[in-house]
Copies of this chain bind each other. A is one copy, B any other.
């Protein structure tokens, strides 16, 4: 016995190897500039082997992004768990989100800036475990903390969280796609976004 297990381990190993190769190429050249044949070349297998482990190119990307965003969730989790002023903590979370997106532009693009293919199962995607949903829940938690601490007025927390998400997503995606736009300064825009959004919510009726 144990032969089945060994095989399963080997299979998992190759699967991870494909994932790593794809990730590296996606990061360097972007999803649409990486072909299945190039990924195959990198791991020295034939292109069709990839299809044994992944349904298609989109699923391969999806898995790569899942890995990456696990790291974002970890980071946010760390920040949101720290003690101190909840408003400052929320701001730090917003900034961490933006900086994560800029540090992983291709992955960020893939998960939040690409149109879903037709016939995509959104029902399933927007359940608890999608990267959007997970990162999003940190916002609602952060806001609730602020309200409970009396630092923010009572409000529709979901609406406020969605407003926050839209704001930080805007800065992230704009800094990614319009890298050469004459920005006043990357850090200035990032901090201004966090400050303006939080101040705006604090001042809401």
Give which listed residue, B173, B201, B203, contacts A170 with CB less than 8 A. Answer: B173
Q: Are A184 and B171 in contact (CB under 8 A)?
A: no
Closest-CB distance, A95 to chain B (whole angstroms): 13
For the complex formed, measure the closest distance between the CB of A131 and the CB atoms of chain B, giving whole angstroms: 11
B188 touches A159 (CB 8 A): yes
Contact check, B193 vs A204: say whether CB atoms are below 8 A apart.
no
* Contact present for A200 and B189 (CB under 8 Å): no
Q: Which applies to chain A's interface (DSSP): helix, strand, loop or mixed?
A: helix
Interface size class of A (residues with CB under 8 A): 35 or more
Binary CB contact string for chain A from 142 to 170 against chain B (1 if under 8 A, 0 otherwise): 00000000000000101110110111111
Interface-lining segment among A20-28, A66-74, A80-88, A109-117: A109-117
Contacting residues, chain B, for A159 (C-beta < 8 A): 184-185, 188-189, 192
Give which listed residue, B158, B166, B183, B188, contacts A167 with CB less than 8 A.
B166
Query: Do B184 and A167 touch (CB < 8 A)?
Result: no
A47 at the interface (CB under 8 A from B): no
A181 (CB) vs chain B CBs: closest residue: B126
Does B184 contact A162, Cβ atoms closer than 8 Å? yes
| CB interface residues, A 51-104, toward B, < 8 Å | none
Chain A residues proximal to chain B, CB less than 8 Å: 30, 32, 109, 112-116, 122, 125-126, 132, 156, 158-160, 162-163, 165-174, 176-178, 180-185, 188-189, 192-193, 195-204
